[in-house]
Structure 1
Amino acid sequence: MAAAYRDEQEAADKVTRLGAGVDACLFASPVPYDLARRSGVLTMPATYVQLGGAALIAALAKAVMDERIDPRRVSVDVLSRADVEEAYADLGLPVENVHSRDEPGATGTIAAFHERLVRQGSTTGALTCLPAVADRLRAADIPAVRIRPTSAAVRTALHTAALLGAHHRLEESQLTVVLVEVPTLREPVRRAAPRHWRDELRLSLHRLLVQEANRINATVTAIDDHSYMVTATRGSVASATEGFRVLPFAARVRDELGLAVEVGVGMGRTTHDAEAHARAALARTQAGKQAQGFAVDREGRALIPAPRMPPHGTGAIKPKGVEVLARLAAKLESGDTVVDAESAGKMLGVTSRTARRLLRTLVDEGLAWPLPPNRTPQPGRPRQLYRLIVEKLGSR
């Protein structure tokens, strides 16, 4: 599936629109990959087309053909210093007067990095991985060469992405066992409620677990009077636990039956291995060590820790950014999702300084991303624009 964009800043939005139906993502360069990764939208394996090695050497060959550029005195963006030094070593060229910048940044910031070095006489031209930077430099009459991926690099990246996707598919179909125990039903008989009440509770719990299991194409088996085993695939359990971030079944059991349950999730190559890992995870839960994770993978390693469940009768606590984003979205004009601190402050009824802090919170929570600042002839700091990802409100 192809997802074209005019600017690398749109990469995260494209990933969000593709959704969870994608097995792996392949980005055209490290820049959109890094932007998508930083925004937190990558829930699947991802890689990018390498621009070092042969791609950089090809760009240097083009630079030699431009009489204005001395490849021994150039500036390079995006690529790491190690990649630059390796390519120059392969060509037998000195690298002392080659300036590199691998930190991410806005188009204007990176273009200014190259332009400043040329104006100072430190370099004779620029090698850039970003099309927008190349266009801006040429418009300023700065010699610039695009670093483009070679056909071999594209083929290699496609092969890598296919392998990542295939591995992801196999991993999602991995056998997974969920053990559910009810402390109330595990209590000794002398402290227990009347037998008919316990029997009715077991039936109600079994019925609820069967309903939940049917939703994820799993099966439920009663082990004894107080515990159950749910057999499923890793992919189905991951979808029911928000990627192993919340305990499966626990919230509904608590809300509908008023019961606290202990849960352990285990994966393995066989049912025996998966159950053994689930019991290890359950023992960790019962020992009060949920910070180490309530799920264990097929290698015996704990997965993502489970957050604390909210107290009974209360809903999950929403991040602060979601509330801010919802308030802004309610006041945005149709189709307009770009704001700055001043306009956001007016919508929220706060100062521009406070709005700027709130917009940074949205960026940190992956609910917005900063756009390149507008360059204006007026003195002072240029306006920083932010693209609000209002689509995320529909998924919460």
Structure 2
Amino acid sequence: MTPDLTIGVVGPHDLVERVMLMGHGPTPVPSRLVAAAYRDEQEAADKVVRLGSGVDVCLFASPVPYDFARKAGVLTMPATYVPLNGAALQGALLRAALDERFDPARVSIDVLARGEVEEAYAEIGMSTDQVHLREEVAGPGTLAAFHERLWRRGLTTVALTCVHATAERMELAGVPTLRIRPTGAAIRSALQTAALLGAHHRLEESQLVVVLVDVPTLRESPRRVTPRYWREELKLALHRVLLQEAHRMNASVWPLDDHSYLVTATRGSVASGTEGFRTPPFVERVREELGLAVEVGIGMGRTAQEAETHARAALARSQTSQRAQGFALDRDGRALVPAPRTPPRGSQPVKPKGLEILARLADRLGDQSESGAPLIVDAENAGRMLGVTPRTARRLLRTLVEEGLAWPLPPNRTPQPGRPRQLYRLIVEKLGPAKTG
């Protein structure tokens, strides 16, 4: 049986080979190792990018390549590294003590934290008074210059480095150098940690997610009664768009009622379609193609019922918010993104911009309004009435739709080539008796 979990091993060639050889031992989850070896630690980020989605977790041969990849922002999967503190540092100090040219008390060390170095020296009863340390991770050249300067001034007898490329540079420059290498026990422990991280990530990615999509424009109300034919046409067009978008996320779509839909998917597929839950799904495409504003709530849970409950709670949050934040709740009911700020107490509500646009259009269409006929416009004639370009008018009409002040009619089915003409019915009832009477 082929292991389902894949671990990408990133590091210099010799350490990657050690990890690969030790990877044949038992791990908590059957795993397959993929090698990504480099010559210089600064290539670590590029190696991670090349591994891509083909691995479930990354195991770095030391903290150095891990730090480079983290700072480059390429870690889209769980990651860990083989530690070089403790026994690894003490092993390097032992090799230094066995060479009569070196004094373990007079060395330079890079990358490791001061606390880790002091602890290792304390365990073998040595002082760190003459130990020179550079904790910050830097390029191989910078670290090599740090070690070489100290050695040439006679302040150290040997350089202990965690960086493969730094060791190569110093050896070429004639600076006595010892590499701090991970122990076998540290490699085995890191492999087990990586396998557990990957397995947990797999379980999390396959977690059931429920997405609720609500369309306020499709809700019937005493002031919003539209012909059934128009409603059915719009619902069919909306369902088609949702199915296409859901197919990209390997999700399923079902209509719940006249104005809402239920989408089921996995956490991994929804995360990839929402930029890691930073942008709500479906919203932009539905607005672009149909001129509709939709509200979305995403919920996760240990059961389908719990996920739907959290999705309804998230939808309620988005409906009471003016910004699309806090639209997803995890399985414990916590928001995955920060909730929007509440306006300060005592602040006056801002008058919707759409009311002003609607009033101007209603004034220009005064004769039709007085006759009681529905006020219907498109981008071109609305642009002429408002004195703006059709493109700007189209954006303003979408603003009316989002604020519930206009109703997008289904596109005309004409044999003419090009984009079908989009009509909007103005809901002048929202202007009050003075404008509608």
Measured against the shorter chain, the TM-score band is 0.7 to 0.9
> Corresponding residue for 1:330?
none
Change (3 A) 1:306 1:260: farther
Name the aligned partner's letter for residue 213 of structure 1: A
Query: Whole-Å Cα distance in 1 between the matches of residues 338 and 324 of structure 2?
Result: 5
User: Does the CA contact (< 8 Å) of 2:109 and 2:160 recur in 1?
Assistant: yes
CA distance in 2, matches of 1:119, 1:24: 42
For 1:98 and 1:259, locate their aligned partners in 2 and report how far apart those are by CA, in whole Å. Answer: 67
**How far 1:289 sits from its partner (Å)?**
6.2
Q: Is the 8 A contact 2:297 2:328 kept in 1?
A: yes
The alpha carbon displacement at 1:59 in A equals 0.6
Counterpart AA for 1:219: S
- Structure whose CA Rg is larger: 2
Paired residues for 1:26-175 under 5 Å: 26-175=59-208
Deviations 1:41-87 (A, max 9, x none): 11000011111111111111111112222111211111111211121
- Give the TM-score normalised by structure 1: 0.74
SS of structure 2 residue aligned to 1:202? helix
Range 182-191 or range 23-32, more displaced: 182-191
User: 2: CA distance between counterparts of 1:275 and 1:86?
Assistant: 51
1:12 aligned to 2:53?
no
Structure 1 residue 163: Cα displacement:
0.7
The CA deviation string for residues 163-220 of structure 1, in whole angstroms up to 9 with x for no partner, is 1111111001001010111111135142243232122212221232223223333222
- CA drift of 1:306 comes to 10
Query: Which shifted more, 251-260 or 136-145?
Result: 136-145
Matched residues in 2 for 1:66 and 1:139: separation?
Answer: 20
Q: Check 1:190–1:93 CA distance in 2 against 1; reply closer, same or farther (3 A cut).
A: same
Alpha carbons of structure 1 residues 269 and 117: separation in structure 2 relative to 1, 3 Å: same
Q: Distance between the aligned counterparts of 1:165 and 1:301, measured in 2?
A: 23
Question: Aligned letter for 1:167?
Answer: H
1:254 maps to 287
Residues in 1 aligned to 2:73 and 2:339: alpha-carbon distance in whole angstroms: 18
CA distance in 2, matches of 1:290, 1:20: 32
Amino acid at match of 2:116: D
Give percent identity, aligned residues only: 69
Q: Conserved in 1, the CA contact under 8 Å of 2:109 and 2:133? A: yes
Matches of 1:116 and 1:142, distance apart in 2: 10
1:206 is the counterpart of 2:245: no
Deviation at 1:40, TM superposition (A): 1.0
Decide whether the 8 Å contact of 2:41 with 2:164 is kept in 1. Answer: no
Query: What is the distance in 2 between the residues matched to 1:116 and 1:50?
Result: 27
* 2:273 aligned with 1:240: yes
Give the one of 33, 48, 54 matched to 1:21.
54
Report which stretch shifted further, 268-277 or 162-171: 268-277
Aligned-residue offset at 1:303: 1.7
Partner of 1:115, secondary structure, is helix
Provide Cα deviations, 1:143-166, integer angstroms capped at 9, x if missing partner: 211001111111111111111111
Is the CA contact (8 Å cut-off) linking 1:244 and 1:304 kept in structure 2? Answer: yes
- Alpha-carbon separation, structure 2, partners of 1:300 and 1:88: 47
Q: After TM superposition, give the deviation of residue 305 of structure 1 in Å.
A: 5.8
The amino acid across from 1:283 in the alignment is A
Contact 2:106/2:158 (<8 A) preserved: yes
Contact persistence 1:290–1:306 (CA under 8 A)? no
Partner residue in 2 for 1:274: 307
Structure 1 pair 59/290, CA: closer, same or farther in 2 (3 Å)?
farther
State how far apart, in whole Å, the 2-side matches of 1:241 and 1:23 are: 20
- Give the partner amino acid of 1:175: L
- Residue 210 of structure 1 aligns with an amino acid whose one-letter code is L
User: Could you list the per-position Cα deviations for residues 261-286 of structure 1 after superposition, in whole angstroms to 9, with x for gaps in the alignment?
Assistant: 11111111111221122122222212
Distance in 1, Cα, partners of 2:248 & 2:324: 28
Whether contact under 8 Å (2:207, 2:300) holds in the other structure is yes
Give the unaligned 5+ runs of structure 1: 314-396
Q: How far, CA to CA, are the matches of 1:159 and 1:150 in structure 2?
A: 15
Q: 2:334 aligns with which of 288, 301, 308?
A: 301
CA distance in 2, matches of 1:68, 1:220: 73
| 3-state DSSP of counterpart to 1:4 | strand
Among 218, 224, 228, the residue aligned to 2:257: 224
8 Å contact 1:284–1:290 — kept in the other structure?
Answer: no
Distance 1:160 1:270, change over 3 A: same
Q: Deviations over 1:306-356 (max 9, x none)?
A: 99xxx987xxxxxxxxxxxxxxxxxxxxxxxxxxxxxxxxxxxxxxxxxxx
Matches within 5 A, 1:183-194: 183-186=216-219, 188-194=221-227
Amino acid at match of 2:157: T
Number of corresponding residues: 310
Residue 301 of structure 1: CA displacement? 2.3
Equivalent-residue separation in structure 2 for 1:296 and 1:43 (angstroms): 21
Corresponding residue of 1:381: none
